[in-house]
Each structure stands twice: as C-alpha cells, then as structure tokens.
Structure 1
Amino acid sequence: MLLKFKVLFLFLGLSFVETDPMITIDFEDFKNKIETPSEDLRIYNFWATWCLPCIHEMPYFESTVNNSEGTSLVFVSLDDDRRRDRVQAFLEKNEIKTTVWLLSEKEQKDWKRKLKKDWSGAIPATLFVSANGDRHFHTGQLSQEELEGLIEKYQ
C-alpha cells in the first residue's frame, strides 16, 4: 500500500519523504549534535517508556515548544535500543511527533557522566542549550509553567 502511494506521489510530481522520527545514536553523535551551532534554544528531554513522570510531561513539552518561536525539542530515550519496537509502539500510541533519539545500548552505562559529571541518571531530566552554546541542566519533572519560564530565561 505504501509503495502505491509513493508511485502516485512520483507520478504527480510531488515529493514524498519518508522520515523515521526515531534514530539510534551513540554518545559521540549526541555530543556532536548538541555542540553544533544553532540560532535556536535546543531542549533535550531525557525519558523512558517506564518513567511515569517522563510520560506525564511529554505532551506539554511538545505543545509548549511547538508554540515557542526559536526553540526546538528532541526526546532522548533511555530505553534499551535493542527494544526499539517497544519505544516505537509507545510513540505511536501516545501520538508523539517530536524526534526521538535512542542512545545506543553499549554507551548507556558511561554517557551520563560524560554529559554532566554529577548527574545520577535520574529522569526525567532536561538539557537546555542556548543559542550561544551555554548549557543548563535540570533534573526532575517540570510543570508546564516551569518549562515556559526556563524557555524564556534561556532564550
């Protein structure tokens, strides 16, 4: 069925881009992506399918960032990348449209210290990277109001 749509789009001269909102990356990829200059405030929210506070904040993170000019959001999943299908099913069930990075399993035991030396790995946690490259790390669940305040503060 998908192939028929692709052929129809090509026949009509329309572009059809199939995108996967979830990509698996290792720590070096992650580090390079967050260090790449940007004009936007970038927000990286660390979560997992088994973390109820994480799941609770995801919808308003998505809506708040979508309504905040000059901001971008990536959800960074701490789920085991060997269980990619479980994360994909969660995203579909909860209608999450934001890009999700799934950190490669081999890196998970070490990368938390590399990101922030005193971070225990507790989630939810959020990394804000300002346009000038300054990093601000917050551990714990954020309310929508707190998130809006931090976006305003770091932009």
Structure 2
Amino acid sequence: MKLQKCIFLLAVCLLPLCYGFITVNPEKESSHLSRNQEIPVYNFESLKPLLYTNSDKVHIVNFWAMWCAPCVKELPILKQYEANNPNVEILLVSLDFPENIDSTLKPFLKKKGITSEVVLLDDPDANSWIDKIDPKWSGAIPFTIIFNNENRSYHERAFENIEDLENEIKKTIKNK
C-alpha cells in the first residue's frame, strides 16, 4: 500500500515536468494563447488593409459571430486547417458587440481553444462595407475570403469539413 502511494505521489510530482516534453513548441503555443488577450475593435476603414496582401502566402479572413450556429460549427475546421498549415494567415473577424468582448467573446475563444487572430468589426454602416468587400455578398455569415497577392475567392457559406476548405483553397491559389 505504501509503495502504491509513493508511486502515485511520484507520478503527480513528475507530471508537470513531462508537460515540457509533450508540448511541441511552448513559445508558439503561449504566444497563440495570449494573442486574444486583447481583441482590437476596428471600423471598416481600419480593417480594410487586412483584407489584402502583397505576399504569395495564403490568407483566410472569416467573418463570424458567436450567435451564428454555422459560424461556431465551422470554427474547428479553420482551427484544424491552421494547425496543419502554420504558414497560412487566418484572421477571424467577429461581428459580435464590442461591450461583450471581456464578458463573452474572450471566454468563448478560450473555451473553444481558438488561437487564430481575432478582431472585432464595429461599423454600423454594414450596407456600405459589405458591398466594398464583395458586391455579391448578401451580408449573411459565415463569410470567408481566401486570397494571396494574385488570387481571391469569396465564400458565403460554412465549410463542411477540412477537405471542403482545402479544395476551395486549392481552387483559389492555383499555383500553390
């Protein structure tokens, strides 16, 4: 009995040490987890530069909200794609209310394990900025833009699975 207690105590004491061995990149993980400690609030004009790039790197900008069931269902797909493709830039543009950032949005992101960059778009003139992003966009979310410096596609729907997202990226970024 004493031996079992000793083994249990030894295991409990050594478990925190093992964490360092099973964490792939603790610095990267820590920076991603702390990334959403501060969520910037943008109007459309300040968000607009984030919708374009001069690089051939793949960028994904996803407009979503916590109250949108298809958006929430799609988040794990984007999370998985980002984990499998660390060179891709993913930006989640929340359309939630700014006053709910600390009380609801941050806890939601933490609970879901979302480490992608998140910003909040707070611009009341939606009819104007929706058309500036894509004149064909009805304003429904989720809405995703996939782009690099040469190619761009718009998706007014949720991706069904990781393969669906990968196929759309391959169609959009033909030279990759």
Residues 114-125 of structure 1 mapped to structure 2, 5 A cutoff: 114-125=132-143
C-alpha separation in 1, matches of 2:85 and 2:69: 25
Deviation at 1:65, TM superposition (A): 2.5
C-alpha separation in 1, matches of 2:111 and 2:81: 20
Instruction: Give the match's secondary structure for 1:43.
Output: strand
Name whichever structure is richer in helix by fraction: 2
Tell me which residue corresponds to 2:164. Answer: 146
Tell me which residue corresponds to 2:24. Answer: none
Query: How many equivalent pairs are there?
Result: 139
Deviation at 1:19, TM superposition (A): 4.7
User: Which range is displaced more, 98-107 or 56-65?
Assistant: 98-107
C-alpha separation in 2, matches of 1:119 and 1:152: 22
Residues 1-155 of structure 1 mapped to structure 2, 5 A cutoff: 19-21=34-36, 22-68=39-85, 70-85=87-102, 86-132=104-150, 134-144=151-161, 145-155=163-173
Mark the CA change 1:153 to 1:70 in structure 2 (over 3 Å): closer, same or farther. farther
Report the structure number with the largest CA radius of gyration.
2
Q: State the TM-score, normalized to the length of structure 1.
A: 0.78
Instruction: Give the match's secondary structure for 1:126.
Output: strand
Deviation at 1:91, TM superposition (A): 0.7
Instruction: Give the match's secondary structure for 1:136.
Output: strand
Q: Which structure 2 segments of 5+ residues have no match? A: 1-29
Q: State the TM-score, normalized to the length of structure 2.
A: 0.70
Q: Which structure 1 segments of 5+ residues have no match? A: 1-15
CA RMSD in angstroms, aligned pairs only? 2.2
User: Which range is displaced more, 53-62 or 99-108?
Assistant: 99-108
- Residue identity (%): 32
Instruction: Give the match's secondary structure for 1:137.
Output: strand
Name whichever structure is richer in strand by fraction: 1
